[in-house]
Every structure is written in structure tokens, then in C-alpha cells.
Structure 1
Amino acid sequence: MAFKLAQSETYQQKIEVQLVGESGKVEKHDFKVTFKRCSNDRLEDLRGKTGKEVLQEVVTGWSGVTDDDGAAIPFNEENFDALLQIPAASFALVKGFWESIVVAREKN
């Protein structure tokens, strides 16, 4: 496939979050997040920031985040801040962003 110099402004990435459940077993959860594409110059600026600061600048949306009843939770500042308060979710998002830039994903 030919490489297109012009790219979309955003892209989606699957994020997997591992949490210890009430039984003490690790439970895997996933959702899709939309990241802004960044130039190399912008990435250099982001390297000096905290994970939370990076995410606040590059995350533009999500799908697959639900409440206890399975209803979709909309992406907005309040809900995003609540997600970032969950250490495993915040870590998975930061890891997912940086890996999406440098690691070629295999097709399933």
C-alpha cells in the first residue's frame, strides 16, 4: 500500500485496561479512544509533560465506555477527568498513545 503524505487529523486506537476485580482476579476491559495526530515537533513538546497533560491534549473522544447498566457514557471533560482518576485506565491510555505512534499494529 502506498504511503499518503496527507493524513486524517485523528485516529482511533483500542485501549485495554486491566483491573483487579472484587474477587482479586485481573479483569480485562477495552474501549476505543480517538487521538489527535501529532507532528514530530508537537511530540517533542509533549515529551516534557505529565501523562495527564498529554492525554488532555491528544484525546478527542471515545466509544465503548459504559456505566454499570451498560449505557454509553458520553465523552466530555467531566467524564474524561473521572476516567483519568482510575490509575490503570490513565496508564493504559498513556501507553496506548505512545505505542500507537511508534509500534506498527498487526491486523487481527
Structure 2
Amino acid sequence: MAYRVAKKPTFTIKVVVVEPGDADSGEVETSEFTGRFKRVSDDELVEIRTSGRSDKDIMREMLVGWADLTDENGAQLPFSEQFRDTLLSIPHALRGVAYAFMAGASGAGLKN
């Protein structure tokens, strides 16, 4: 596939959330969903990295949608600012979202 310089204003990438489980074995639970993020330029990425802003504040701006994120009953959770803020208030989810954004925005850790 030929590389296109013009890009859509957003990109999607898998978000992996790893958190302690509740099994007696002490194993962690790994979940995933697809996050949709604002695409940023190299200069914008440098500004984000050096801004001193919290991950939560940055992700509130950059996370603009998702797929395959469910509620406690397994129903698909529609994207909204309220649900976004609820998701980002969970430390393990925030870490997964921030890692996915940085990997997608910078190309670090991407595989074919």
C-alpha cells in the first residue's frame, strides 16, 4: 500500500488494560478495546510531552471515541464525555489509554 501524506484527523488503536483480578491465584486481568484518538503533528506531540499536563487531562482531549467497550452487563458503551471521564478515572484504564495514544501518535511499539 502506498503511503499517503494527507491523513484523517483521527486514528484508531487497540487499548490494553491490565489490572489486578479478584481470583485467589492473584493473576491479573487483561482487557482490550479500540480507542479513537485525535491525530497530532510532531510539534504537537512534543508540546504534549513537555507541557507538564496530567495524563488524564491530555487523554480527556485526545480520546474522542471507542469501540468494543462494555458496561458491567456486557452492553456496548456509547462514547460520551461522561463515560470518557468515568473510564479515565480508573488508574489502570488511564494508563492503557495513555500508552495506546503515545504508541499510536509516535509510532513507538507499532507492528505490521
| TM-score relative to the length of structure 2 | 0.87
Residue equivalent to 2:36: 34
Alpha-carbon distance in structure 2 between the residues aligned to 1:57 and 1:18 = 23
Query: Which is further off, 61-70 or 44-53?
Result: 44-53
Residue equivalent to 1:102: 107
Offset from partner CA, 1:8-67 (integer Å, 9 cap, x none): 111100011011111132111000000111012221221212111211111110111111
Offset, 1:104: 5.4
Residue equivalent to 1:3: 3
Offset from partner CA, 1:64-101 (integer Å, 9 cap, x none): 11112210111111111111111110011111111112
Give 1:1-108 correspondences, 5 Å limit: 1-23=1-23, 24-47=26-49, 48=51, 49-100=53-104, 101-103=106-108, 105-107=110-112
**Number of aligned pairs?**
107
Query: Identity across aligned pairs (percent)?
Result: 34
Offset, 1:105: 2.1
Higher RCO (C-alpha under 8 Å, 6+ residues apart):
2
2:65 alignment partner, SS class: strand
Which structure 1 segments of 5+ residues have no match? none
Which structure 2 segments of 5+ residues have no match? none
